[in-house]
């Protein structure tokens, strides 16, 4: 009976009542509720956030707003030549740089047949009519949104450089001294002198 009592209390060699375990404090276990279906680990509350009945109307409005914004963001793109002016312009007229976030894109004129090696801005350049171009990029180009925006910024700056072919013809006008030189060379007398020297008229 004594052995059974000792085993019931924890055993001689194992269990929480074994030798060397008397000084340890019983660890506090987290209380977990128990239901009829088993142990309940977590209690979640499902609350309605918002009604999803107007999604179709909001999507149509968003698409319409995006179309309007795209039309307002249209910019003219200027094309040029790399060397001799043969055929249609196929590259950028000069070196341009665009930036968005940490990405910096630089477009450099290239000879005919070079193409565009960058995968992301290549489609953007093709839509702009630029077939041949060197592209230099710096920064985190893995962010495709910033990379594309930087390329678009660079393309939009092609008209920001005022090259000599865009200069207006200056029409020089003559100054009054140059225009009326012949009249000013003549000797003139004052009006008061002309009045005093006027001949007297005899009256009878």
Tokens, residue 185? 């060379």
Scan for tokens 């953007």, then name that residue: 124
Q: Which residues of the chain have pLDDT under 50?
A: 1
Backbone φ, ψ for residue 135 (5° rounding):
-125, 125
Q: What is the pLDDT of residue 24?
A: 53
Q: What is the pLDDT of residue 1?
A: 47
Q: What is the pLDDT of residue 116?
A: 86
As a whole number of angstroms, the distance between CA 121 and CA 73 comes to 17
The model carries a pTM of: 0.54
């Amino acid at each position: 009976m004594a052995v059974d009592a000792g085993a019931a209390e924890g055993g001689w060699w194992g269990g929480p009542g074994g030798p060397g375990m008397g000084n340890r404090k019983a660890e506090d276990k987290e209380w977990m509720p128990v239901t009829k279906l088993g142990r309940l680990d977590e209690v979640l509350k499902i609350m309605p956030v918002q009604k999803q009945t107007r999604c179709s109307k909001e999507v149509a409005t968003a698409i319409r707003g995006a179309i309007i914004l795209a039309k307002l963001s249209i910019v003219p793109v200027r094309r040029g030549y790399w060397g001799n002016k043969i055929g249609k312009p196929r590259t950028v007229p000069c070196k341009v740089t665009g930036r968005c976030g940490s990405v910096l894109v630089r477009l450099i004129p290239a000879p005919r047949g070079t193409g565009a090696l960058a995968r992301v801005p290549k489609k953007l350049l093709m839509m702009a009519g630029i077939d041949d171009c060197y592209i230099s990029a710096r920064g985190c180009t893995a962010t495709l949104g910033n990379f594309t925006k930087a390329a678009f910024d660079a393309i939009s700056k092609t008209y920001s450089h005022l090259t000599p072919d865009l200069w207006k013809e200056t029409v020089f006008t003559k100054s009054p001294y140059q225009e009326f030189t012949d009249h000013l060379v003549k000797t003139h007398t004052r009006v008061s002198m002309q009045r005093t020297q006027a001949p007297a008229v005899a009256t009878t």
